[in-house]
Amino acid sequence: MASVLAIASVLAALPALTMGAAITPRGSDIVGGTTAALGEFPYIVSLSTGGSHFCGGVLIDSRTVVTAGHCTIDQRASSVKVRAGTLTWASGGTQVGVSSLTLHPSYTVDSQGVPDNDVGVWHLATAIPTSSTIGYATLPASGSDPAAGTTLTVAGWGTTSENSNSLPSTLRKVSVPVVARATCDNDYDGEISNNMFCAAVAAGGKDSCSGDSGGPIVDPSGTLVGVVPWGQGCAERGFPGVYTRLGNYVSFINSNRG
């Protein structure tokens, strides 16, 4: 679920790849998923500019959102909004402004358009307290790495198919197993770094997609283990969704909390 706005420059250089959980701008919907229940992902937020959703994010305390770096790099704090506590990105819940955006200092995009250290931290201008529909995500242990075969759940408002240009209005979710890093690296011709992990069903058909970028992927205990960065297409067989491995960024995130 990446935003076309956030990754337009990257996509121009890499037509075959797209940002989000599978090199496609991950959007506001999930391929092969189902509608989420209100409060099921109390920490997910919609990031918008000009009234349009462009990425997801994750609330980790009352003033801090974690998202993808490519959702951060081309944005201005004064131009973006964060909405929490609702199933619909366009209305409801609580919407606040942003005071500052921090991109990981080692964020890079290679010659193939693939980002690494793809994480950013946003400070909110107004605190968002917990409620019946709002909560804060738990970060993983520093250095942790989701084990191959573990079933994870990703949520977002990204497109429901690779060729769709419209975002679903209601939050969706899908469960996918972790793919061994070596297998995924082979699928992507050596593009998978130790800062990434992959997840997909072998047959394809389930994935995050455009508009989902920056949104959460959680383990069975509900711990936030990653955010959506990129992938090849959406739910394509043989091309798992790729996620930022947050276990490598716990220190960076904690040192930049609001």
- How is the chain split among helix, strand and coil, in percent rounded to 5? 10, 35, 50
**How many independent structural domains does the chain possess?**
1
Instruction: Give me the active site residues, please.
Output: 70, 118, 213
Residue 5 CB neighbour total at 10 angstroms: 15
pTM: 0.84
Nearest residue to 249 (alpha-carbon basis) of 149, 144, 175, 163: 144
The CATH code of the domain that includes 229 is 2.40.10.10
pLDDT tens, per residue, the chain with 258 residues: 333 333 333 333 333 344 443 344 443 335 557 899 999 999 999 999 999 999 999 999 999 999 999 999 999 999 999 999 999 999 999 999 999 999 999 999 999 889 999 999 999 999 999 999 999 999 999 999 999 999 999 998 865 444 445 555 789 898 999 999 999 999 999 999 999 999 987 755 444 454 468 999 999 999 999 998 776 555 456 788 899 999 999 999 999 997
Residue 51 domain boundaries: 1-258
